[in-house]
Structure 1
Amino acid sequence: MVNVRGKWALITGASRGVGYQIAIFMAKQGCNLILHSRSLEHTRKVEEEVKALGVEAYGVQAELANHEEVVAMLDEIEANGTEVDIVFNNAAVQIAYRTDYWSTPVEDFEMSFRINFISITTICNRLIPKMIERGFGRVINTTSGIRNEPEQAGYAASKAALDKFTKDLASRLEGTNVMINITDPGWCRTDLGGPQAPCAVESVVPGIAVGAFVDDKKSARFFPAQDFVGMTLEDAVSKAEKIEANPYTI
């Protein structure tokens, strides 16, 4: 199991919901944190909380729909001299529920893909080559279990694209100590999931973060967070490493 103490993790959407749970959990394991949100004001509270747990942390801001802001965020991290070891691509947007799905506006797809897919490819393409050079890296991309719901076509299609990107990229990481995997928090009571969701947001740990701790150099696994509820981190890692890796082969 990977010891993350002293390593640096970037968490997108860290100010609330699942991202907040990831931040607190990783800080408790001794991991230093880069906390992303759309505004530095949004992450001020969680930054104070994780620092109180004894780790280093700072906030960065970017509107993920704006490519230039994503690049500027990555430039800032690099200018700070931070070597990012772990990435949680957690932030996402669910535009709308379109009962008349035949009339889904193109803007649903454009915004969903900008935030849920293109921003993540930008982050991965910038940070993963540096991880390969240093000989260590873990990337955890958050997908969704939504299916058979054309009412949420923009959101679902952007997550499907992310799954494809992750699995394709995984095939090129074989033989390195850089791993890229997929996680799904389940339907949780968050701003995105809504109050009717069956799962408490706290239930996402340790499963949502287990991809940072697996240590067998296998990528393209799918880690459903709700399958790890109530487990210790050690037991969760042991279970995760038994899940079959499924990259697309070259």
Structure 2
Amino acid sequence: MVNVKGKWALITGASRGLGYLSAVFMAKLGCNLVLHSRTEEHCAKVLSEVKSLGVDAYVVTAELSDMEQVDRMCRTIDEKGTKLDIILNNAGLQIAYRKDYLATPASDYDISFRINTTAPMMICYHFLPQMKERGFGRIVNTTSGIDLEPEQAGYSAAKAALNKVTRDLGKNYEGTDVTLSLTDPGWCRTDLGGPKAPNSPESALPGILVGAFIDDKKCGRIFSAQEFTGMTLEEAVARAEKQAGVY
């Protein structure tokens, strides 16, 4: 299992929900953090909390629908001299639930793909060369298990695309110490999931983070976080490493 103490992790959407919980979880293990949100103010609470746990941390901002802002955020991290070891592309947007799904506007796809597919992949493309050069990296992209629901077509299609490009890209890193995986948190009571979701946000831990700790040089797997609920991190990683690959 990977020891993250002293490593640097970028968590997108770190100001609330699963991103917030992930940041605190990683900080308790000694991992330094780059916390992303749309504004610095949104991350003030989580920044204070993780720093109180004794790790280094700072905030970067970007509207993920704007690729110029995404690129600027990545370059800011470079300019600060931070060498990212771990990326959790957690931020996402559920654009709408369309009861009249045959009237789904094209904008649903455009916005959903920019935030849920293109932005996380631009982050991957930017930092993967550095990870490869240093010989270590863990990227975890957050997906969704939504299926057979045309009411959520823009969101589910964007997440399906993220699955595809993550798996395809991961194939080229199979067998190295740079791994790419996907995590499905399940339907949780977050701002995105809504109050009627059956699972608490806390139930997604440690499952949403196992991809950061696996040490078996395999890529492309989708880890369903709810399958790890109630486990210790060590138990969760051991189970994750037994999961068959997807190729």
Q: Same fold (TM over 0.5)?
A: yes
What is the match of residue 218 of structure 2?
A: 218
What is the match of residue 165 of structure 2?
A: 165
What is the match of residue 77 of structure 1?
A: 77
Q: Give the TM-score taking structure 1 as reference length.
A: 0.98
Alignment of 1:175-194 (within 5 A): 175-194=175-194
Matched residues in 1 for 2:174 and 2:14: separation?
Answer: 29
Matched residues in 1 for 2:220 and 2:71: separation?
Answer: 26
What is the match of residue 200 of structure 1?
A: 200
Structure 1: tracts of 5 or more residues without a match? none
What is the match of residue 122 of structure 2?
A: 122
Matched residues in 2 for 1:97 and 1:222: separation?
Answer: 25
Cα deviation, residue 175, structure 1: 2.8
Name the aligned partner's letter for residue 192 of structure 2: L
Cα deviation, residue 144, structure 1: 0.2
CA-atom RMSD in angstroms: 0.6
Alignment of 1:104-119 (within 5 A): 104-119=104-119
Cα deviation, residue 189, structure 1: 0.3
Matched residues in 2 for 1:175 and 1:130: separation?
Answer: 17
Contact 1:35/1:60 (<8 A) preserved? yes
Structure 2: tracts of 5 or more residues without a match? none
Cα deviation, residue 129, structure 1: 1.1
Matched residues in 2 for 1:97 and 1:139: separation?
Answer: 29
Q: Give a deviation string over 1:21-69, Cα, whole Å, max 9, x none.
A: 1101111111000000000100011000001111110000000000000
Structure 1 segments of 4+ aligned residues over 2 angstroms from their partners:
none
Q: Give a deviation string over 1:177-197, Cα, whole Å, max 9, x none.
A: 100001011000000000000
Matched residues in 1 for 2:121 and 2:212: separation?
Answer: 19
What is the match of residue 240 of structure 2?
A: 240
Name the aligned partner's letter for residue 53 of structure 2: L
Matched residues in 1 for 2:74 and 2:213: separation?
Answer: 24
Matched residues in 1 for 2:165 and 2:97: separation?
Answer: 25
Matched residues in 1 for 2:201 and 2:91: separation?
Answer: 14
Q: Give the TM-score taking structure 2 as reference length.
A: 0.99
